[in-house]
Amino acid sequence: MNLNIIFTFSIFRLILFPPPPLKGGIAVTTEDLQCLNSGEFLNDVIIDFYLKYLMLEKAPKEMVERSHIFSSFFYKQIALDSSSVVGSKHRRHQRVRTWTRHVDIFKKDYLFVPVNQEAHWYLVVICFPSLLNPLYEEWGNSATTGNSGAKKKTESPALEDRSQNSNSKTTSTYFKRAMGKQAGFLKIYEHLCNLSDRYLQVEWEVRRGSPRNFTAEQMKGSLCRVPLQDNSSDCGVYLLQFAESFLQNPVVHFDLPLNLENWFPRQQVRRKRDEIRELVLQLYRKQKGARSSKLDSALII
């Protein structure tokens, strides 16, 4: 006699963050929690949840005011029909036009765009999207990173005359970072930059009522040298750590290429899955109370 045992698991919502009466809450389910297990790929829900948590609860207030984080669905929308036809960039922008109706991204210093392309997570960061001219700022040391209390930006002479070995800090008109595996992804990186350039062009026209081109010459980009994952499943975890590290201690040195290989200790990102899982469970207990201790035990396992 053969005995077959079938296990079934109910999928239900654990938390809504932020909870009402705040708007734009992200629902995290028991299924989403499973992708935090070792070896699993992080899904868009966990990515969006933790990025929103950073902005609402963890990042310094000054950086929150200076930053805007797009949903992981943002790039998917502007990447549809990604031909170079002029009309298509307006159609793509129309799909996400209302997503920034309450925020002027050109009043922000940093725009974060999480991207999932070819089963890999990237983070694109666009710095100083309102600048029309390069700026130059003196800094006290040559460290790659600094704190969020940076000096007020001032107009700069020609940046090409600045030495990369000097103690000065330079900011390109724009600075982008595509995080993740660096070898073999240059074509994807260029594609990401081209699409974001065209989105910014239309958004500027909508916001400012005047045309403006965003070219590669104006927008200096860098595929940064950053801590890299040592497996095939932690790209999403690294994306979240990149965003968290930038918000806590933003890059202020823009001499390219940026070398951030020692940005954070490896142990810090290795703990990230467990930290996010515990965070979700803490929020669950806070929102639901002590109603289901058995469920808590099952989720922890």
d(CA 226, CA 211): 35
| Both structure tokens of 136 | 């130059």
The answer to whether the peptide bond before residue 257 is cis (omega within 30 degrees of 0) is yes
Least confident piece of the model among 135-144, 199-208, 253-262:
135-144
d(CA 55, CA 67): 9
Least confident piece of the model among 121-130, 136-145, 162-171, 273-282:
162-171
Q: pTM score, two decimals? A: 0.79
Q: 86 pLDDT exceeds 60?
A: no
Q: 296 pLDDT exceeds 70?
A: no
Strand partners, 27: 16
Q: What is the mean pLDDT of residues 195-201?
A: 85
pLDDT of residue 187: 65
pLDDT of residue 218: 73
Asked whether the CA dihedral 192, 198, 200, 203 is positive or negative, the reply is negative
pLDDT-based confidence at residue 151 (cuts at 50, 70, 90)? very low
- How far from 112 is each of 81, 105, 115, 138, CA to CA, in Å? 22, 11, 10, 25
What is the per-residue burial (b if ≥16 Cβ within 10 Å, else e) of 57-84?
A: eebbeebbebbbbbbbebbebbeeeeee
| Both structure tokens of 49 | 């949840």
d(CA 36, CA 279): 12
Q: 252 pLDDT exceeds 60?
A: yes
pLDDT of residue 134: 72
